[in-house]
Every structure is written in structure tokens, then in C-alpha cells.
Structure 1
Amino acid sequence: MEPVNVAIIYYSATGNVHALAQAAAEGAEKAGAYVRLRKVAELAPPEAIGARPEWAQHLKDTADVAEADHEDLGWADAVLFGAPTRFGNPASQLRAFIESTGPLWMQGKLADKVYSAFTASSTAHGGQESTILALGNTFYHWGGVIVPPGYTDPIQFQSGNPYGTSHVAGIGAPTEVTLAAARHQARRVVDIAAALKAGRTA
């Protein structure tokens, strides 16, 4: 079976979503996919970033991570998007990237791909599910195939979110349970994308 191409496109301010994205990349690679890990551009003003040392530090620590562009979306058979929640919606940095994809959408180049999403919020009820559902609205418009983790692995009964991997940043860095959930979500995305790809070429 031909390997699938998976783009993991994310925004992270202080590193929590970045950690989830890395775990997703590990899961996808272990499932046999070709993976591109890509961050979106930071749009916050320097004074806002400088006011939080952990934000400034994370920006330095991930300087070598390539920024996402439209070619990554065109290349991918499946895309996992990750962003922290902002008032129940994806962070504006990720939204800005998504809102730049109109030309691809108009050409039908975003349709029939597999999409999934993950997130982090400061508190347990800080908008995690609404953020993932908000990203789903975009996937509907693109004509995508949405693949959530569901309760398809025992790890989901520990991590607790069938919509997509979610982390409560207020308790610290993602735990191994949360990272394992992200790996599982990515493996599931790869499996479904591979089945769709094989079906189209059969």
C-alpha cells in the first residue's frame, strides 16, 4: 500500500500544542506515513510576546520548525490542525493561515482529504470541544473527511476527548497519557487516509 502524506499544521504560544503536534507526528510516522510538521506564522506583537518569558522562549526554541504554506496542504492526503483555544475558537494565528487558503479551496484542492484537530486550553472547560468543532466548520466547507479519535482505543477512556486530543495547560506540560492520545489520533488518521487512497486507486 502506498504511504500517505500527512501534514501536521499547528500554532503554539508556549509549547503545549507543539508537544501535541510532535506526538502526532510520531504516531503518523510509526503508522508508515510521510510527515511534514509545520507551524504557522506568529502574528502577535513583540511587546505581547516579550511580556511572557515562556512565550518568547518557545518562539526561540522552535525557530527551526518550517512555516506552513499552501504547498503543504496540496501535498497532503491528510491534515491534522492544532491550536490553543481562544474564547472557544482556534487561535487567530491558525485562523489567519486557514483564511489564506481560498485559492486552493476554489480549485477544489482541499476536498476529499482527511482532516482532524487537537487543542489545549488553560482550564478543563475552557473551550476545547468548541475549538475542535469550530475547525470542523472549515473542514465541512472544504469537503473534507473528518476523522476524530472517538473512543477507538483504551487511551481515549483516560484522555477523555473523542473530538480530538486536548490538554489542560493549567496543570503543566502534556502528560504521557495525552501524548499517547495524540499518537493514537494520528495513527487513526493515517489508517483512514490510507484506506481512502487505496480505494481510489483500486
Structure 2
Amino acid sequence: MTKTAIVYYSSTGTNYQLAEWAAAAAEEAGSEVKVLKVKETAPAAAIESNAAWKKHYDATQDIPEVTPDDLEWADAIIFSVPTRFGNIPGQVQSFIDTVGGLWAQGKLANKAVSAMSSAQNEHGGQEATILSLYTTMYHWGAIVVAPGYTDPVLFEAGGNPYGTSVAVAPDGEMKTDRKAIQAAVDYQAKRTVAVAKALQHME
């Protein structure tokens, strides 16, 4: 059975929701799935100062934190992270910096990987954020599985060929139709699992 790790970082819940949708789709595709959060490293004062952040932080305490072992376990890895000035959050970079040992041993090579993102604005850096993640994946020797323009459902969700991305209002609500975003996530996750299965058969 194909194994899929859904790795997310979310301060107020958007990327957690994307991760949950991706997990459901991957399970529908017949994959064993782990939903894993990136460890929160922001100061407690920063979290406490934002009611939505604090609420989401408290609500997701039971979700396990991702470790390098989870990436080694997985055949497919789907990331969902918000943009920070067109780049990935520091929390995510800190985690990625811990997997050098796996990379050096070639244990991240040939894994199917894909990514999703969010920002407050339609042009708030989502594409750059996804591409910055993919740059790391290229160094791993992983197989990047972008959705491209391979299904009409992607256009309803904004048409980002690199990965599903969503604009979010200050109150945390998605600006794009939720059903359209969920459909795009569903397609992207199932496509990633399908590629992971194909790669398994090639080994």
C-alpha cells in the first residue's frame, strides 16, 4: 500500500483544512495517510496576541508533529504551508533543515512530492512559496507532482499550475469558493498518490 504524509503548517487553520482535504482524498485513492503538523516555534506571546491563532493552536494539540522519520516512511509527501513574503514560514524551513541526514543517504529520492499554499491576497506570493519548496525537493531527487492544467477543476480554484493555492480574508475565510478549492485539493492529492504508486511499480 502506498504511504502518504500530509505535512502542514498553519497558524489560523487554512492550511490545516487543505491538509485534511488532501488526507481524505489520499485515503480514497487507497493510500495509508498520516496528517502531521510542523512544530510551532513562535513565541507564546505572539500566539496569544492573535485570537484565531491561539484558537487553532489549542484545537490541534493532539495532531502529531512531523519528524524526519515520517518523510522516510512516506512514498508520497504533500506539503501545505502559508506564504511569508513569498517564501515558506520559518517553522517549515527549520524542519526542512533537519532532514539533511536523510538527503545524504538518498532516502528522500524518488518520492512523489507536491505542495499547496495560501496568502491573504490573490497575488500574495503563493506561487513563489510553492516553488521555493520544490527547489528543496529537486535537491532531494524527489519527483515533483504539480497539478499543471491537467483537469478543468483546477481553473475553478484559481488555476495555479504549481499547486492548489487560496486567498484568505483577514477573518480566516477563504475568498475562493470552498467547494472549488476542495475539488482542486482532491485532484492534486489523488494525482500525487497515483504517481507514487507508479514509482513503486518501477522499483
Answer whether TM exceeds 0.5 for this pair: yes
Alpha-carbon deviation of 1:153? 1.7
- What's the counterpart of residue 176 of structure 1? 179
Q: CA-to-partner distance for each residue in 1:103-134, whole Å, 9 max, x for gaps?
A: 11111111111111000001000000000000
Counterparts of 1:195 and 1:107 in 2: how far apart (Å)?
23
Summarize the alignment of residues 49-198 of structure 1 with structure 2, pairs less than 5 Å apart: 49-159=47-157, 160-170=159-169, 172-173=173-174, 175-198=178-201
SS at structure 1 position matched to 2:117 = strand
Which structure 2 residue ranges, 5 or more long, are not aligned? none
Alignment-mate amino acid for residue 52 of structure 1:
N
Counterparts of 2:23 and 2:92 in 1: how far apart (Å)?
18
Alpha-carbon deviation of 1:187? 0.1
SS at structure 2 position matched to 1:140 = helix
Alignment-mate amino acid for residue 112 of structure 2:
V
Q: CA-to-partner distance for each residue in 1:161-188, whole Å, 9 max, x for gaps?
A: 1110101012713711111111110000
Which structure 1 residue ranges, 5 or more long, are not aligned? none
Alpha-carbon deviation of 1:64? 1.0
Find out whether 1:199 has 2:198 as its counterpart: no
Alpha-carbon deviation of 1:157? 1.4
When structure 1 is superposed on structure 2, of 148-157 and 128-137 the one drifting more is 148-157
Length-normalised TM-score, structure 1? 0.95
- What's the counterpart of residue 32 of structure 1? 30
Aligned identity (percent) is 47
Counterparts of 1:95 and 1:184 in 2: how far apart (Å)?
26
Alignment-mate amino acid for residue 108 of structure 1:
G
Counterparts of 1:182 and 1:21 in 2: how far apart (Å)?
9
Counterparts of 2:5 and 2:54 in 1: how far apart (Å)?
25
- What's the counterpart of residue 14 of structure 1? 12
Alpha-carbon deviation of 1:150? 1.2
SS at structure 2 position matched to 1:161 = coil
Q: CA-to-partner distance for each residue in 1:4-26, whole Å, 9 max, x for gaps?
A: 11001110000000000000001
Q: CA-to-partner distance for each residue in 1:46-99, whole Å, 9 max, x for gaps?
A: 111111000000001111111101111110011011110000001111111111
Does the 8 Å CA contact 2:86/2:124 hold for their aligned counterparts? yes
Larger relative contact order (Cα-Cα within 8 Å, sequence gap ≥ 6): 1
Counterparts of 1:155 and 1:31 in 2: how far apart (Å)?
18
Q: How many residues align?
A: 198
Task: Give the ranges of 4+ consecutive aligned residues of structure 1 lying more than 2 Å apart after TM superposition.
Answer: none
Alpha-carbon deviation of 1:147? 0.3
